[in-house]
Structure 1
Amino acid sequence: MNRDWLPIKTTPWTLGLILLALLLLIQLTALPQRLDYWLYDRAITANPVNASDNVVLVTIDEPSLNRLGRWPWPRSLHAELIDKLTRAGARTIVFDVLFAEPSADDDALAAQMRNHGNVILPVYLSPPTSQYLLSEQLPVSTLATAAAGLGHAHVELDSDGVARGLYLFNGLGNRLWPSLALAARGAGPESPAARNIPPYVNVRDEYRAVPLIGGAGSLPSYSFAQVLSQPPAPERFSGKTVFVGATAAGLGDILPTPFSGLSRPMSGVEFHANVFSAQSRGLLMRRAPEWVSAVLALAMVLMYSLALPPLRPARTLIACVSGAAALIGLYLFTLRVLGWWIPMANAMLVPLLAFPISSGLRLAMTNRFLNRQLDGLARSPQVALPAPSGRHPTQLLEHFIALFQPTGWLLTEERNVLSRQDLRPADIPEDLTPGLWLHDSNRSWIQLLRGGTRYHLGLALPNDLGREAIQRYLQRLHLEQTAPANRNSRHSENISARIERVRVATDRLNHMQQFIHRSFERMPDGIIVTDELGVIRFANGHIEEWFREPMPSLGGLPLVRLLEGHDPRETPPWHETVSDTLTLRQSRTVDLRIRDKDFLIHFAPFSLPDSNQQGIIANISDISELREQQRQHREAIDFISHDVRSPLVSQLALIEQLKRDPSHIEQSQLEQLSRLARRSYHLAEEFVQLARAEQLTETRFYECEFLAIVENARDSVSEQALEKQIQLQLQGTEDLWLRGNAELLERAVINLLTNAVQYSPGGSTVSIQVFQAGHQACLAIADEGSGIDPEELPFLFDRYRRQKSSELAGVHGTGLGLSFVKTVVEKHRGEISVLSSPGDGSTFTLKLPIADPLA
């Protein structure tokens, strides 16, 4: 389904409207209020306020009940308590005990209250029974007139049942009673601003939140019975306000607080004492009007609607977290410093909602973009080759014939022969497994199934060195058709179709990247790709090998610095070549030399499609072999123009001389002409033999016996050795079979023996040893000649290279013999070495691999 028409964009309007709608929906729940209560509780309990020094409790607790008897007590005990507190110097006595019914001891209690002069009694607002309306429960008139003031004892419970504050004034009709704490400070009843209020209507005014000093038992307290049983204690009560009330279970009211919850509730008298302590220190907190919270929330919605759309995702998170932190800081400042409790829940919900909403909008836009890109990727070409398993056996046979040139083949369909040459149906093996090749010597067979039809295909391959490689290659081919993969299994993985499309597209891109990377790596040339500043961004393995620079150090290295570090030059400088390629956008081709090897580097500018980015692709080709061939070509021209041309010119001159006087032909002239002709022949023969050796391939190899080759070479040189009375001693009786070209090997040994005889003095001995060392057949030829100078040894096997000492001694050579020997040995994957020193003769050692008779 195409969803491109959906107007999903991260704009101020869309983000702001969504935030506002969600805030309005959240108002239908208790979440904002609960969040406000939670924030207040954390702020109050994290840093409790200190208690006032002039507040103390006298509690009607369990020990007092045990000692003084069951409740209610005679009011004479309360009169005695007031007397003790008066003599102890208590400033104010506040009773959280309702004396609503007359008693015989009321006059005595009233007298003690008048004697003290500052006793506060409570007023309760509650219906007498559930069938009556709300009414004021006042102390009896005798006590009420004796009291210095009356105050209501009601504590406001929030919607979650926790006491966090109270109304300073509460009452019915036109009379509002101050709270006990406010009455203790001398406040009297007030009239509400509104008039004509029915007498049964509960009126409350001036709510204050109370910062408690801690949980139950945080204020200093003394048991009622303990105070009565001990003498007056001015050190405890002098100048203080004493709150008297019940804390025993079942007597007093219990109030859950932010410090305790329902686990350890606080008594009402202790709560009122906390109110008095906070009021005396000016710490009671006002609750801000509802419109403040609404205005703050709307301001946050407006701010985030304008700020978030242009921000990046990471900065969006930072902005939301910073906004929430700023609101918490503002909340704590107004609460603890200014004494205002501002409900922050709605404002704090804005950044909490803004981040997921803006992220969701971005994801929606990204989703639409990805859908378009995925559709484009699905239509893009992919690097895939048709599998050979999908081809008909007749096509396979046609391709095999064109590729491998078999000497014979056979293709049958069931019992019918479709094509054959030199193979018959009777040759088909019986134990063929469908899809698997069976190789029998140079014959390869396979059974294929196509659409329920059975085919047999056989090939008779050429019996040469490439047969085994072809059979290994055939073994790797997958020619049998396989059942399609069960795509229904993906549904059990609970992967959406979009994720599957992403996976397919990613696999396709990965395959393309791997194909490009492997293609670059397998190219015979070195490849360097730079950016528009000439900095290397990619290099294949040839660059790492040739420049001997590790791949991590190549990335980010300027191309100019790499080239200058390995081939410094002044004309033209590398920076000029690279900069011209980038600025003029023209290709350049320059020679490059690295560690005695010749290269050709081609600079080509490129530009990325649909982008202004550009760079250079540098293609580096190793032309050392080409340069070596050019050098050899020049040497060959020099050789032909001098060494071959010189004897021919001499022959022509001698022939012209003989033609002028044919009657006086001397024997010496004929011998000289014969020597010149033989020299020309030997030069041409060695030149041809060297060319044959350089063109030698393993296709011209066959099994041959090394000792026989050496014996034939010795017999060929025996006449030359006999002329100088040099003895050729051959040691070796073991047959050593090689795979090679016997003709060229024999010629190479002849060259070594010829040199040994030519450079050895008359009457000496040339030792020839043939032996096996490991998997190698070895030949060692040692002479007793003058040896070779050490400075000439490194160049001994170079073509057209002659020994200076030999030339001075009158032994003239072509400089091709030893080069021919080395070429033949290397073509046979062997090695040759020489050990020589002046005056001690020379020993040439030749090593060739032995053919495995089991192969």
Structure 2
Amino acid sequence: MTRDRLPQRNAFWTLSLSLLLALLLLQTTTIPQRINFWLYDALITTAPLAADPNVAIVAIDEHSLDQLGRWPWPRRRHAELVRQLTAAGADAVVFDVLFPEPSADDLALADALRNHGRVVLPVHLSPPAEDDPIAEHLPTSRLAGAAAALGHAHVELDTDGLARGLYLYHGLGRSLWPSLALAAAQLQGQGPGPAPGDAGNAAPYVNVRAQFVAVPLAGGAGTFPTYSYADVLSQPPQPGRFQGKTVFVGATASGFGDILPTPFSSLARPMSGVEYHANSYSALTQDAMIHPVTELVPNLLCLLVLVGVALTLPRLRPAQTVAFTIALTAMLVGLFALFLLGPRLWLPVANSLLVPILAFPVWSARRLAMTNRFLNRQLDELGHSPQLSLSEPATRHPATLLDQLKALLAPDGWYLAHAEAPETLSAHNLDASQRPPLTAPGQWVHTNNQSWIRLVRGDQAFDLGLKLPENLGRGASQRYLRRLTLDPNYTPKPIAGPKENISARIERVRQATERMNTMQQFIRESFERMPDGVIVTDELGVIVFANGHIEEWFHEPRPSLDGLPLARLLQGHDPRDNPPWQETVSETLTQRQSRTVDLRVHGRDFLIHFAPFEIDDTAQNGIIANISDISELREQQRQHREAIDFISHDVRSPLVSQLALIEQLKRNPSEIQPEQLDQLGRLARRSYQLAEEFVQLARAEQLSETRFYECEFLAIVENARDSVSEQAFDKGIRLALQGSEDLWLNGNPELLERAVINLLTNAVQYSPASSVVTIQVFEAGHQACLTVSDEGCGIAPEELPHLFDRYRRQKSSELSGNRGAGLGLSFVHVVVEKHRGQIEVQSSVGHGSTFTIRLPVANPLPHGH
């Protein structure tokens, strides 16, 4: 099993059949249908259709009933309304008012209908009585003959009681009537064609409905401009309201009961039937009616989603499963919206949506069962995995502990004896009289350089004491002893068990894998803590592991190293052609022979050792590359060569000159001149000076903090000034010392004084006669500072970076005749570094130089310490 992926055998059939069964069970409920309705309502109300501006409503409202009297009104009043609308220029009039019984005013109304020429009257289908068959309720024959078209006024309510659509055609047998909105649209030459031809095969008494469409409403109640029936009658014709418009006439008063809950407001603010027909007409004129797709399409989509989910989920990890489920759900919702807003098709996606929603818990349960079985098979093998365990010091006998502590800490003395008996088991330079009170077993008691502990083993108690050496490591040793756990009654803090009710087998596997992880962590941390860089590659020479040294030395972040070919890494940092790195790596893998090669990266020298490896019982192999930093060794070799060159040239040259001069004097001993003796003395002094500088530099390089003690910095500077005062006096140079504060340091005063002398000597040497060398000693923060400023010729900018390199002479010094070995400033730099300080130089050609030394301050010892 790879990481957290599970075996996929039979997973497709198990998951698909489980999902199919769950879907079949859900079909017995209203859940899928409610999901489809909810999606439709959410989208329709979020993006409503724009209202047709050529639609208006004349409402039989409460105001009209108050003004015109109780319903029903005489039909001459409706005739007057039609004449008003005709005069106002209404293009078509659609009545949502039934006229099934004859009336004395039918002739007047028929004349008004015929005069307008584009009036649609409603047809209603319902049983005359409760047990009677359904029948058509048409307008009277006179009115029907005068109307331009007849249309049914039926609106369909879905199972949740909301009106979302209607049938475009409805009737009995072969007589199918278009809806009111369709009849009005057909007058305008719009809308679908005539009723389906197969309707003629039905019996005359059969209720036939055809071409269901969903109506995309333009909004809630009151979206279309609505005018009161009484106001239209009482006012002069108003072409501005009705010119060129299709006017729907119907009841909106609450007493009529002609109300329809819609997706916009449900029963909170239902819509009147006449306004619903106005919405239908508006959608028809914009060709925006929504047609349901055939049942085959959503079923095929559901089957496609089910197969895709069953094939995909077993290949995903748990986190990917959640993302896949969310993405698939969003895609199906997007597909629903695309069909509804694009080709105006209602694609029910509830069953398809239920597939990923159900698949997540079903597959999670399946994954848990598979995990349980897999863990059960692997439990015994994991239980016998190798583990790393270190024996506890608390279980060792005191005598063994003493031997091991002696080997580790090298104490000046020790003592081991029974706590209750006078018998001494081992003692040296320590006895029982020096033992402090020991009350708590397993806890160290430290007094000055002595450390004592009482150890309990079984029913016996032992007292163990150590006398540690008086050095800087004593405190660290005592802190280390305090961390040791030597009490056998100590028990590690128990690991909290699982809070969830999980399988005991899984808990055992967790413990086994924890032991394995501990081993792997130990190996990884061992690689990290190694002093050398370590790179592990696979069988193609691609890096799979690199420790922190590689990241630091190559300046490559750890993520960029993973997956990078080793040869490319080496070639990028140390290009070479003979032999190329690719050949070295390739031969290590193919010939399985170790190789050691020099490497230089970012100015540092390394030695890289290629060692092939192969894992037992597998075909896996690769390279372990061990990279050792030999920069310090190479630097020592370079310094050794420079020292040899220095001895062979700088020291040898004055000696050869001395020997030549002595031979000359020996040939003519009677003609020895004073200037020859002066020259011989200068050569001897130069040889001595070179040897002295060389010895002083060697001493500085071997300096360690064990030779440090408290010293006062101002006194050191004053002594150095006094040592150089004669040389300064000869050139007429004044040494001006500024500073009166005692600054205490931890350091080596002898070498510090020599370093200050070197700085002052250089300042005097490179300063013109009768100038001033300023010496300042002060404290800045927690640092003792010394500045030496001269008024000499200064140092060229290109020579400043190499000022402290040993055996390097400045060009200006050579030209001025101030020849040296190039060791003076190098000595100063080494001494300052050994004291954990810094040295800086500021120089301007022709204006002099300023050297600044900063050393950490130490608090002086209390008086009488």
Class of the TM-score when normalised by the shorter of the 2 chains: 0.5 to 0.7
Distance apart, 1:424 and its partner CA? 6.2
User: Match of 1:346?
Assistant: 351
Distance apart, 1:224 and its partner CA? 0.9
Kindly provide the amino acid, as one letter, of the partner of residue 32 in structure 2.
P
SS in 2 for 1:29: coil
Match of 2:623 among 601, 614, 630: 614
User: Match of 2:84?
Assistant: 84
Aligned ranges 1:184-583 → 2 under 5 Å: 184=184, 185=186, 192-193=199-200, 195-196=202-203, 199=205, 202-234=207-239, 236-237=241-242, 240-306=245-311, 331=336, 334-335=339-340, 338-350=343-355, 379-400=384-405, 403=408, 404=410, 407-412=413-418, 414-415=420-421, 417=423, 419-421=425-427, 428-440=435-447, 443-450=450-457, 454-459=461-466, 470-481=477-488, 483-484=490-491, 487=494, 489-491=496-498, 505=513, 509=517, 512-513=520-521, 516-517=524-525, 521-523=529-531, 533=541, 538=546, 541=549, 550=555, 552=557, 556=561, 580-583=587-590
State percent identity of aligned pairs: 47
What is the distance in 2 between the residues matched to 1:282 and 1:631? 97
Q: Quick one: structure 1 residues 297 and 854, their matched pair in 2 at CA, closer, same or farther if it must change by over 3 Å?
A: farther
User: Match of 1:586?
Assistant: 593
Q: What are the superposed Cα offsets for residues 329-362 of structure 1, whole Å, 9 maximum, x if unpaired?
A: 6655654565543323323444555677668767
Distance apart, 1:155 and its partner CA? 0.7
What is the distance in 2 between the residues matched to 1:216 and 1:35? 25
Kindly provide the amino acid, as one letter, of the partner of residue 278 in structure 1.
A
Q: What are the superposed Cα offsets for residues 112-149 of structure 1, whole Å, 9 maximum, x if unpaired?
A: 445555544334445677x6556547367476555535
Asked if the contact 2:551–2:557 (Cα under 8 Å) also holds between the matched residues in 1, the reply is no
What is the distance in 2 between the residues matched to 1:307 and 1:173? 51
Kindly provide the amino acid, as one letter, of the partner of residue 80 in structure 2.
E
Residues matched between the structures, number: 674
What is the distance in 1 between the residues matched to 2:57 and 2:559? 82
Aligned ranges 1:688-707 → 2 under 5 Å: none
Kindly provide the amino acid, as one letter, of the partner of residue 221 in structure 1.
T
User: Match of 1:40?
Assistant: 40
Asked if the contact 1:48–1:213 (Cα under 8 Å) also holds between the matched residues in 2, the reply is yes
Kindly provide the amino acid, as one letter, of the partner of residue 78 in structure 1.
H
Kindly provide the amino acid, as one letter, of the partner of residue 69 in structure 2.
G
Asked if the contact 1:587–1:602 (Cα under 8 Å) also holds between the matched residues in 2, the reply is no
User: Match of 2:29?
Assistant: 29
Q: Quick one: structure 1 residues 543 and 478, their matched pair in 2 at CA, closer, same or farther if it must change by over 3 Å?
A: same
Distance apart, 1:265 and its partner CA? 2.6
What is the distance in 1 between the residues matched to 2:348 and 2:53? 31
Distance apart, 1:264 and its partner CA? 3.4
What is the distance in 1 between the residues matched to 2:37 and 2:221? 20
Match of 2:607 among 601, 605, 609: 601
Asked if the contact 2:414–2:466 (Cα under 8 Å) also holds between the matched residues in 1, the reply is yes
Asked if the contact 2:417–2:425 (Cα under 8 Å) also holds between the matched residues in 1, the reply is yes
Q: Quick one: structure 1 residues 365 and 94, their matched pair in 2 at CA, closer, same or farther if it must change by over 3 Å?
A: same
User: Match of 1:758?
Assistant: none
Structure 1 range deviating more: 325-334 or 552-561: 552-561
Asked if the contact 2:535–2:624 (Cα under 8 Å) also holds between the matched residues in 1, the reply is no
What is the distance in 2 between the residues matched to 1:854 and 1:9? 85
Distance apart, 1:449 and its partner CA? 4.0
Distance apart, 1:243 and its partner CA? 1.7
TM-score when normalising by structure 1? 0.61
What is the distance in 1 between the residues matched to 2:90 and 2:104? 26
What is the distance in 1 between the residues matched to 2:226 and 2:383? 81
What is the distance in 2 between the residues matched to 1:356 and 1:133? 52
Aligned ranges 1:97-246 → 2 under 5 Å: 97-99=97-99, 105-106=105-106, 108-113=108-113, 115-116=115-116, 119-126=119-126, 132-133=131-132, 135-136=134-135, 138=137, 141=140, 148=147, 150-171=150-171, 176-184=176-184, 185=186, 192-193=199-200, 195-196=202-203, 199=205, 202-234=207-239, 236-237=241-242, 240-246=245-251
Asked if the contact 1:97–1:121 (Cα under 8 Å) also holds between the matched residues in 2, the reply is yes
What is the distance in 2 between the residues matched to 1:382 and 1:278? 76
What is the distance in 1 between the residues matched to 2:201 and 2:558? 86
Kindly provide the amino acid, as one letter, of the partner of residue 24 in structure 2.
L
Q: Quick one: structure 1 residues 630 and 572, their matched pair in 2 at CA, closer, same or farther if it must change by over 3 Å?
A: farther
What is the distance in 1 between the residues matched to 2:602 and 2:39? 75
Q: What are the superposed Cα offsets for residues 173-198 of structure 1, whole Å, 9 maximum, x if unpaired?
A: 7755443234444789999555457x
What is the distance in 2 between the residues matched to 1:142 and 1:596? 110
Kindly provide the amino acid, as one letter, of the partner of residue 418 in structure 2.
T
The Cα RMSD (Å) is 6.1
Residue ranges of structure 2 left out of the alignment (5+ in a row): 188-193, 649-698, 710-745, 751-778, 780-803, 808-830, 837-857
Kindly provide the amino acid, as one letter, of the partner of residue 609 in structure 2.
F
Q: Quick one: structure 1 residues 509 and 271, their matched pair in 2 at CA, closer, same or farther if it must change by over 3 Å?
A: same
Distance apart, 1:253 and its partner CA? 1.7
What is the distance in 2 between the residues matched to 1:570 and 1:205? 85
Q: Quick one: structure 1 residues 461 and 276, their matched pair in 2 at CA, closer, same or farther if it must change by over 3 Å?
A: closer
TM-score when normalising by structure 2? 0.61
Kindly provide the amino acid, as one letter, of the partner of residue 546 in structure 2.
F
What is the distance in 1 between the residues matched to 2:283 and 2:806? 107
Q: What are the superposed Cα offsets for residues 212-264 of structure 1, whole Å, 9 maximum, x if unpaired?
A: 33333333433212221122345544565432101233335222323443443
What is the distance in 1 between the residues matched to 2:139 and 2:501? 77
Residue ranges of structure 1 left out of the alignment (5+ in a row): 639-692, 704-738, 740-744, 746-773, 775-792, 797-824, 831-848
SS in 2 for 1:160: coil
SS in 2 for 1:439: strand
Asked if the contact 1:165–1:207 (Cα under 8 Å) also holds between the matched residues in 2, the reply is yes
Q: Quick one: structure 1 residues 90 and 189, their matched pair in 2 at CA, closer, same or farther if it must change by over 3 Å?
A: farther
Q: Quick one: structure 1 residues 7 and 145, their matched pair in 2 at CA, closer, same or farther if it must change by over 3 Å?
A: same
User: Match of 2:75?
Assistant: 75
What is the distance in 2 between the residues matched to 1:512 and 1:442? 40
Q: Quick one: structure 1 residues 176 and 391, their matched pair in 2 at CA, closer, same or farther if it must change by over 3 Å?
A: same
What is the distance in 1 between the residues matched to 2:343 and 2:566? 67
Kindly provide the amino acid, as one letter, of the partner of residue 214 in structure 2.
A
User: Match of 2:787?
Assistant: none
